[in-house]
Amino acid sequence: MIVTYFGHECFKIQYGDLTIAINPPSKNSPFKINKFGADIVLQTLEHPDMNGGEDFTYGDKVPFIISGPGEYESNGIFVHGLAGVSEYDPKTMNPDNGQGNKRVNTIYSLSVDGINMLFLGAQSGPLPSTMSDAVDTVDLLFVPIGDSGVYNFKEAYKIAMNLEAKVIVPMHYKGPKDELLTHFLKEAGSDVKGIDKLTIKKKDVEGKEGEIVVLTSQA
């Protein structure tokens, strides 16, 4: 399995002929990436920065788009979406919808090539109480770190430790020189350097405990 990062919260997961896009930005977002064909798209938040899945049709690939809590199956991949909460970009919220500055953020659990992945999206509050029933071992955790609307670096690291994630991929920060990423790595006692892509197999995560992988944006 190959994991490629395109900045903010956008990832491409490749396994054989299967391609999964996670939180691709839409054409209305300031975040831009090179479009690619996807078989499955996961969207955690109904926001232009993360809901561009409809643009990821390419050739004969027409994506199966998942954009909310529930249980799904496509291309032999089972996906469980759990309802979380986000305060991302509160200025875009409708104050009359009864949610205040919060909106539903879907946390996704899925397994590809035997690797159990948990994608937290733009989560900002406590994890759902149903998490323990839906998620067992976390081999690969994608966790946001930001200055507003999502977890700060201390919260992100604490969440990762509580989940006992074997490998942790931070996201949402502004770039490799963002002090939030620096603080997160210091919190973890890690000085890893960024890599272009993560190529990983099930055997690679066995025995690991909280190893951090920083991916350099390919956008």
Summarised one tens digit per residue, pLDDT across range 35-72 is 899 999 999 999 999 999 998 888 888 999 999 999 99
- Distance (Å, whole) CA 34 – CA 14: 16
Q: Which DSSP letter does residue 212 get?
A: E
Helices (H), 17-172: 131-134, 153-162
pLDDT for position 91: 66
Residue with tokens 């050739």: 59
Closest CA to 12 of 207, 206, 171, 211: 171
**Per-residue confidence at 101, pLDDT binned at 50, 70, 90?**
low
Task: Identify the CATH number of the domain defined by range 2-212.
Answer: 3.60.15.10
**What average pLDDT does the structure give for the chain?**
92
Residue 103 token pair: 């909106």
